[in-house]
Amino acid sequence: MVNRHRIGVVGARGHTGSELLAILERHQAVEVSHAGSRELVGQSVPEIDGLVFEDLSPNQLADLSLDAVFLALPNGVSTPFVEAISEETVIVDISADHRFDDTWVYGLPELFRDKIAGARRIANPGCYATIMQLAIAPFVDELDGVPAVFGVSGYSGSGTTPSPMTDPDRLRDNLMTYRLVEHIHEHEATKYLEHPVRFMPHVHPAFRGLLVTVHIPVGRPTTAEDVAQTFRDRYSEEPLIEIRERAPELRDGTGLTGAVLGGVEVSKDGHNIVVVGAEDNLLKGAAVQAVQNLNLALGLPELTGIL
């Protein structure tokens, strides 16, 4: 029997943690040996038979000498774990804590695969930042102005902490704006595209799923046909990226392992591209991408456990 990599998940009770455990349970090359949740200590992990939740302190986690650890924690609390864990252990941080730390590798495989391979410290991208960059990246060298992104997501993207944005009654038949300037995913896309981006997020009553409409101003006139072909050429070898003729709807991203781009339109003067993107904020926007990063770090086929 082939030895399987021993994996720990901290923050396993959250929305992303649950999705991550479900993927890892069917992963042929890893074994989740520890799942951390202070609130559910001693309770069975629903996604994995025989495993119970533990209250794992940073030092306890470090003493386990695991091959890899996922940190599915709220922003701002990962530091003690990172400081305690051996440099030889792969850490995939799903929070935003290390996305702007240049000593960590930014884990968007379709754009930075070569840097992720073999890395030991990987910052998982934000959900919106993932689809924004996938939409804009093929045209970043032709930009003539600032791309603008209108986004709508389900309320699971706001986490498990009670707030108006996670209140189904408040959201019913409603659409809410939040952080319309200086959103962290705006800064994230700006950093890794090396070009300013503007982003306007909204939350609506669905639990999950994400939709963006992306305006891309370009200096050289183009056509919708050429833009669609550019997308197809750029992502033809990417099994998790689908290019469609029609614009995806929010439900097209819900439950989707990857992401879909489509509905390309171009202004009459050829300088303004609009494309629509959809993904599941908990899957390609979080857990699926985290497992892609784990696989690349451990030298495994990238889609092991995913497809």
Domain ranges of the chain: 5-125+286-298, 127-280
Q: Under 8 Å CB-to-CB from 3, ≥6 apart: which residues?
A: none
- Report pTM: 0.95
What pLDDT shows up at residue 93? 98
Q: Under 8 Å CB-to-CB from 121, ≥6 apart: which residues?
A: 82, 90, 91, 93, 98, 103, 104, 105
Q: What is the pLDDT along the chain (307 residues), one digit of tens a residue?
A: 468 999 999 999 889 999 999 999 999 999 999 999 988 999 999 999 999 999 999 999 999 999 999 999 999 999 999 999 999 999 999 999 999 999 999 999 999 999 999 999 999 999 999 999 999 999 999 999 999 999 999 988 666 666 777 788 888 899 999 889 999 999 999 999 999 999 999 998 889 999 999 999 999 999 999 999 999 999 999 999 999 999 999 999 999 999 999 999 999 999 999 999 999 999 999 999 999 999 999 999 999 999 8
What pLDDT shows up at residue 160? 61
Is 112 in contact with 80 (CB distance < 8 Å)? no
What pLDDT shows up at residue 156? 82
Is 209 in contact with 250 (CB distance < 8 Å)? yes
Q: Which fold has domain 127-280?
A: Dihydrodipicolinate Reductase; domain 2 (3.30.360)
Among the options 127, 129, 211, 227, which is catalytic?
A: 127
Please confirm, yes or no, whether 127 is among the known catalytic residues.
yes
Query: CATH number for the 5-125+286-298 domain, one of 3.40.50.800, 3.20.20.10, 3.40.50.720, 3.50.50.60?
Result: 3.40.50.720
